[in-house]
Amino acid sequence: MLEQPYLLFLGDAPDQLAAKVAQGIRDWRPESVVGQLRMPGCQADLGLPDMTIEQAAAAGARTLVVGVANRGGMISPAWIKVLREALEAGMDVASGLHNLLRDEPLLVEAARHAGRKLHDVRVPTVKYPIANGKKRSGKRCLAVGTDCSVGKMYTALAMEKAMRARGMKADFRATGQTGILITGEGVPLDAVVADFMAGAIEWLTPDAEPDHWDLIEGQGSLFHPSYSGVTLALIHGGQPDALVLCHEPTRGHMRGLPEYALPSLEDLRDVALRMARIVNPACEVVGVSINTAAMDEEEALDYLAAVERQMGLPTVDPFRQGADRLAEALE
Amino acid sequence: MLEQPYLLFLGDAPDQLAAKVAQGIRDWRPESVVGQLRMPGCQADLGLPDMTIEQAAAAGARTLVVGVANRGGMISPAWIKVLREALEAGMDVASGLHNLLRDEPLLVEAARHAGRKLHDVRVPTVKYPIANGKKRSGKRCLAVGTDCSVGKMYTALAMEKAMRARGMKADFRATGQTGILITGEGVPLDAVVADFMAGAIEWLTPDAEPDHWDLIEGQGSLFHPSYSGVTLALIHGGQPDALVLCHEPTRGHMRGLPEYALPSLEDLRDVALRMARIVNPACEVVGVSINTAAMDEEEALDYLAAVERQMGLPTVDPFRQGADRLAEALE
């Protein structure tokens, strides 16, 4: 679990997109952030107070979060210098980069000396159990997709926000590195050893109050050959009561696989429900979430209305419209 | 890849069952074995020549295989002594035990000194790729089960034997530690990191001659919540052309999960075929393999005939009858 509040490190981000992890934290957990740190040449800006390490420490920052993608797959000497200062000022440092903080001797030494922690959130640190399949109290909702990267994390976070606004008990449960940095905890599922995947999700979504909802971050797709096993472990470990179908309508083929067409929403509904009902016979599909970023407003609204008729389910783009209708469907 | 031939180490096995890994090697790869080594008190016997380390080395043994389960989860000092002698005599040592050879300092030191290898086959040693889903040449058959431990490995090995006897090109592809020790190579799938599971199976079953069959060892079950993700990765990485349904008819519930009933063979057929056709639309179910060990001969034959009528597929117990009819179905 990461200590909060955060200082968001944007480094020398070449553009706004490179800082999308920081943007996600700022959008979904603004109360967890004291400010941003930008190095010379940084082209991203989250509209937060710019702070030095010293100012952030004085403002109470407990963890510097690397909220930017690194170029060329290495952590540059200029970054190392700033991260060391953060450790020396009493902060932990957290990162979801492929290159691990723990592989940088200067950071390891600085953390040891300052008595602070380096958090590489891509790497599991918990010894997860084997799943036992037992029914747990409380409710769970899982977003499943026709493909990878169609908006499953965004959908779950938007639902959490809408549900909390309605006074419902709801917690987003992170299963990937960006989600873990946003909430400060979770399971890096794609890095868990095969035998423990479903058990890790049971661990992540334990017994809860009867009217409490876990909104589990989806991963991969049952129809994506590279990652489908991860998705099924998520369904069988999560024992969802509700599924939300996620789709990006302009994609020509499965992500990274030119030979594979996307399934229809009906196919996704039928296959995901069949698999979910093995562990929870009461599971239902409650809504559809469409990522219409590639459409203009009129085209998007027409498309959403058409899917709603076709599927007979509440259908929204949570980015354009919020997730209130999905929250209502769970209520 | 393990060097052959093997010396099979039975240690101080308290009964024949404790030596079932060695029994599997002897049954399926007798040509890979020079003899057995039994310590004082050993209650197992494979009917092979008893040999000392010295005799086995003289007979050409390249690897001592630990073919016995250890009691109390530790590798005893008495075992260590024999394994060290094997290393000193120029053999590698291989094991599928949970306790790793590499965690025993005396073995590590002896292996280093002798220039020999310790093989812990439960631990992946290859950096597997992410699956790319591309079609490969050659044919693949996968055994899928209504549950774990219903005879999937036995079925694939029996099919390999029957196919080779008919002059067909067939190779068993191991995905678990016993299978790996039997064939000397394979993927310890349950220990692979989630993101690389399907890619590991693509790596295991590469392009081959058009009339060559890989017989892929199954793992888990799509209906077993603890391991279903592993099974789906096996289906999507393996891209099977043919599925064989495996079942144990006297089991009251899913292995280790008293709350879960076994699915019907029809359910297994429909769900496994639906998932397999995502990666191979031409996939077919070609037969049924039933483990009738808990039935007497008459009861077993009646049951097999009933399933054959019910499913409309060749149905055998490969232990009682061999797998010739399944081989024929692939031909």
Contact A228 B222 (CB under 8 A): no
Task: Please give the pLDDT value at position A69.
Answer: 87
Phi-psi region of B117 (alpha: psi -120 to 50; beta: other; left: phi over 0): beta
Please tell me the distance in Å from A292's CA to the nearest CA on chain B.
26
| Chain A nearest CA to B149, separation (Å) | 15
- Minimum distance, in Å, between the CA of residue A266 and any CA atom of chain B: 14
* Residues 6+ away with beta carbon under 8 Å from A42: A10, A11, A12, A13
Task: Assess contact for A193 and B192: CB atoms under 8 A.
Answer: yes
- The answer as to CATH 3.40.50.300 being correct for domain B139-329 is yes
| Interface residues from chain B to A (CB-CB < 8 Å) | 130-135, 189-195, 197-199, 222-223, 225-234, 236-237, 239, 254, 256-257, 259-260, 263, 271, 274-275, 278-279
Which H, E and C letters describe B129-167, residue by residue?
A: CCCCCCCCCCEEEEEEECCCCCCHHHHHHHHHHHHHHCC
CB within 8 Å of B138: residues ≥ 6 apart: B205, B207, B208, B209, B210, B212, B213, B214
Asked if residue B166 lies in contact with residue B158, where contact means CB atoms within 8 angstroms, the answer is no
Mean pLDDT, range B30-42, rounded to an integer: 97
Between chains, do B229 and A198 touch, taking CB under 8 Å as contact? yes
The 8-class DSSP code of residue A145 comes to E
Q: Which of B134, B191, B225 sits opposite A236 (nearest CB)?
A: B225
Identify which of B233, B263, B278 has the shortest CB distance to residue A223. Answer: B278
- Common-topology check for domains A6-120 and A139-329: yes
Which of A193, A234, A237 lies nearest to residue B191, judging by beta carbons?
A: A193
> Is A225–B131 a contact, with Cβ atoms under 8 angstroms apart?
yes
**Collapsed DSSP state (helix, strand, coil) of residue A158:** helix
**pLDDT per position as a tens digit, B195-217:** 999 999 999 999 999 999 999 99
Q: Residues A147, A141: contact at Cβ < 8 Å?
A: no
Gap from B43 CA to chain A (nearest CA, Å): 33
pLDDT at res. A13: 94
DSSP 8-state class, residue B248: -
**B135 contacts A257? CB cut-off 8 A:** no
Contact A188, A95 (CB under 8 A): no
Tell me the pLDDT band of B109, cut-offs 50, 70 and 90: very high
Distances (CA, A) of B260 to B144, B180, B221, B222, B229: 18, 30, 13, 13, 17
pLDDT at residue B261 is higher than 90: yes
Please check whether residue B202 is in contact with residue A256, taking contact to mean a CB–CB distance below 8 angstroms: no
Q: Which of A132, A225, A232 sits opposite B133 (nearest CB)?
A: A225
Separation between Cα atoms, residue A20 and residue A22, nearest integer Å = 5
Q: Tens-of-pLDDT digits for all 331 residues of chain A?
A: 999 999 999 999 999 999 999 999 999 999 999 999 999 999 999 999 999 999 999 999 999 999 998 777 789 999 999 999 999 999 999 999 999 999 999 999 999 999 999 999 999 999 999 999 999 999 999 999 999 999 999 999 999 999 999 999 999 999 999 999 999 999 999 999 999 999 999 999 999 999 999 999 999 999 999 999 999 999 999 999 999 999 999 999 999 999 999 999 999 999 999 999 999 999 999 999 999 999 999 999 999 999 999 999 999 999 999 999 999 999 9
Nearest Cβ partner for B232 among A130, A191, A228 = A228
Q: Do B198 and A228 touch (CB under 8 A)?
A: yes
Amino acid A184: pLDDT: 96
- How distant is the Cα of B249 from the closest Cα of chain A, in angstroms? 19
Say if CB A33 and CB A94 are below 8 A apart. Answer: no
User: Nearest-CA neighbor of A286 among A236, A235, A328?
Assistant: A328
Give me the DSSP letters along B194-246: GGGHHHHHHHHS----TTEEEEEPP-S-TT-TTTHHHHHHHHHHH--SEEEEE
Mean pLDDT of B216-225: 98
- Cβ–Cβ < 8 Å for A239, B228: no
Residues found in chain A: 331
Which residues of A lie inside 8 Å of B (Cβ-Cβ)?
A: 130-135, 189-195, 197-199, 222-223, 225-234, 236-237, 239, 254, 256-257, 259-260, 263, 271, 274-275, 278-279
Q: Tell if the CB–CB gap between A191 and B192 is shorter than 8 Å.
A: no
pTM of the model: 0.96
Task: Find residue B242's DSSP bridge partners.
Answer: B141, B284
pLDDT for the residue numbered A236: 98
At B74 the pLDDT is: 81
- Among candidates B132, B195, B279 on the partner chain, residue whose Cβ is nearest the Cβ of A227: B195
- Residue B71: pLDDT above 80? no
Degrees, nearest 5: CA angle A86-A92-A94: 105
Q: ω before B129 within 30° of 0 (cis)?
A: no
- What's the order of all strands across the beta sheet hosting A315-316? A169-173, A212-216, A139-145, A242-247, A284-290, A315-316
A-chain residues near B199 (CB < 8 A): 226
Q: What is the three-class DSSP state of B86?
A: helix
Q: Which tens digit of pLDDT belongs to each residue from B133-180?
A: 999 999 999 999 999 999 999 999 999 999 999 999 999 999 999 999
Residue B70: name the closest of B83, B88, B57, B89 by CA: B83
Picking from A168, A173, A182, A176, the residue whose alpha carbon sits closest to that of residue A202 is A173
Whole-Å CA distances, B235 to B131, B137, B140, B182, B279: 12, 16, 10, 22, 8
In whole angstroms, give the CA distance from residue A125 to residue A113. 22
- SS3 percent helix, strand, coil of chain B, rounded to 5, is 40, 20, 40
Tell me what pLDDT residue A285 has.
98
Q: Do B233 and A199 touch (CB under 8 A)?
A: no
pLDDT mean over B33-40: 98
| Four-residue CA torsion sign, A125, A130, A133, A137 | negative
* CA A32/CA B95 separation, integer angstroms: 49
Residues 6 or more apart in contact with residue B102 via CB below 8 angstroms: B108, B118, B120
In B, minimum Cα distance to A220 occurs at B195
Closest CA to A244 of A302, A169, A158: A158
Distance from C-alpha of B206 to C-alpha of B202, rounded to nearest angstrom: 6
Q: What is the mean pLDDT of chain B?
A: 97
Percent share of chain B, pLDDT over 70: 100
Domain boundaries, chain A: 6-120, 139-329
CB contact under 8 A, B194 and A195: no
Q: What pLDDT does residue B97 have? A: 93
* A228·B226 Cβ contact <8 A: no
Name the minimum distance, in Å, from the CA of B291 to any CA of chain A.
23
Q: Find the residue in A nearest to B222 (Cα).
A: A275
Q: Are residues A226 and B135, on separate chains, in Cβ contact within 8 Å?
A: no
**pLDDT attached to residue B87:** 98
CATH number of B6-120: 3.40.50.720
Give the pLDDT mean for B9-29: 95
- The radius of gyration of chain A from alpha carbons, rounded to an integer in Å, stands at 20
**pLDDT value for B67:** 96
pLDDT tens for each residue of B226-249 = 999 999 999 999 999 999 999 999
A190 CB neighbours in chain B (<8 A) are 193-195
Do the chains contact at A194 and B193, CB–CB below 8 Å? yes
Q: What is the pLDDT of residue B118?
A: 98
Cα separation, B259 vs B278, in Å, equals: 30
| Chain B partners within 8 Å of A231 (Cβ) | 229, 232
Residue A98: CB atoms within 10 A of its CB come to: 11
Cβ B236–A225 below 8 Å, yes or no? yes
Flag if A236 and B229 touch (Cβ within 8 Å). Answer: yes
Confidence of residue B69 (pLDDT cuts 50, 70, 90): confident
Residue B70 pLDDT level (bands cut at 50, 70, 90):
confident
Asked if B229 and A197 come within 8 Å (Cβ–Cβ), the reply is yes
CA distances from B79 to A107, A280, A295, B57, B106 (A): 43, 47, 68, 18, 11
pLDDT score for A71: 74
| CB contact (8 A) between residue B227 and residue A192 | no
Name the residue facing A257 among B133, B232, B263 (closest C-beta).
B133
Contacts of B222 in chain A (CB under 8 A): 232, 275, 278
- pLDDT, mean of residues B255-276: 97
- Judged against a pLDDT cut of 90, whether residue B220 lies above it is answered with yes
pLDDT of residue A166: 97
In this complex, the residue of B199, B230, B259 whose CB is nearest that of residue A194 is B230
Reduced DSSP (H G I as helix, E B as strand, rest coil) percent helix, strand, coil of chain A, to 5:
40, 20, 40
| Chain A with chain B: Cβ pairs closer than 8 A | 133
